[in-house]
């Protein structure tokens, strides 16, 4: 049931009448946190299979990492609002208790798109190329 609810939210979000933006402030009902984390219908999710740079606190890459992370975040927002989105709920939780999902844009995993565009890495075996 949850999978159907999420798919309905994203399908609606892809229409011009509603758009998903970057999370801002305490109201995090349906929004994009960063390049690999989203809130959908009040639940926080981690997208499976890839990792994107941090956007507010850097771990290893300094300001360049933060800038790349913000680009990845904007790209996820763009892909979600383009329509033709589907979601696979993995039914498991990640390291920080977030549900694990895969989101597809036009049938292609968003993580694969970000990796191809140089905005993310494969996880867990990809190199954090933004660390210099």
| 100-125 pLDDT per residue, tens | 999 999 999 999 999 999 999 998 87
Residue 132 domain flag: no
The CATH number given to whatever domain includes residue 108 is 2.40.50.90
Give 45 or 11, the one with higher predicted confidence.
45
Residue 13: both structure tokens together: 């979000």
Nearest to 11, CA basis, from 75, 79, 85, 78? 85
Residue 55 domain flag: yes
Residue 52 domain flag: yes
The Cα–Cα gap between 84 and 92 comes to 24
Q: What is the pLDDT of residues 54-71, one digit of tens each?
A: 998 777 888 889 999 999
The pTM assigned to this predicted structure is 0.84
In this predicted structure, the answer to whether residue 16 has a pLDDT above a threshold of 70 is no
Query: Which stretch, 4-18, 20-34, 108-122, has highest mean pLDDT?
Result: 108-122
The Cα–Cα gap between 30 and 22 comes to 9
Query: Looking at residues 76-103, what average pLDDT do you find?
Result: 88
Assign 86 to helix, strand or coil: strand
Task: Count structural domains, the chain.
Answer: 1
Q: Are 10 and 85 in contact (CB under 8 A)?
A: yes
* Domain with 7 in it: 2-122
The Cα–Cα gap between 117 and 72 comes to 9
In this predicted structure, the answer to whether residue 1 has a pLDDT above a threshold of 50 is no
- 3-state SS string over 39-72? EECCEEEEECCEECCCCCCCCCCHHHHHHHHHHH
Residue 131 domain flag: no
Residue 127 domain flag: no
In this predicted structure, the answer to whether residue 82 has a pLDDT above a threshold of 80 is yes
């Amino acid at each position: 049931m949850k999978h159907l609810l999420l798919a309905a939210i994203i399908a609606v979000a892809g229409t011009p009448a509603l758009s998903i933006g970057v999370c801002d402030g305490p109201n995090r009902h349906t929004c994009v946190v960063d390049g690999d984390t989203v809130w959908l219908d009040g639940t926080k999710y981690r997208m499976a299979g890839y990792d994107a740079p941090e956007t507010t606190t850097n771990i290893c890459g300094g300001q360049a990492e933060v800038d790349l992370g913000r680009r990845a975040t904007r790209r996820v927002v763009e892909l979600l609002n383009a329509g033709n989105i589907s979601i696979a709920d993995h039914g498991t939780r990640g390291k920080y208790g977030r549900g694990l999902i895969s989101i597809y844009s036009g049938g292609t995993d968003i993580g694969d798109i970000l990796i191809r565009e140089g905005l993310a890495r494969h996880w867990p075996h990809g190199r954090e190329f933004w660390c210099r």
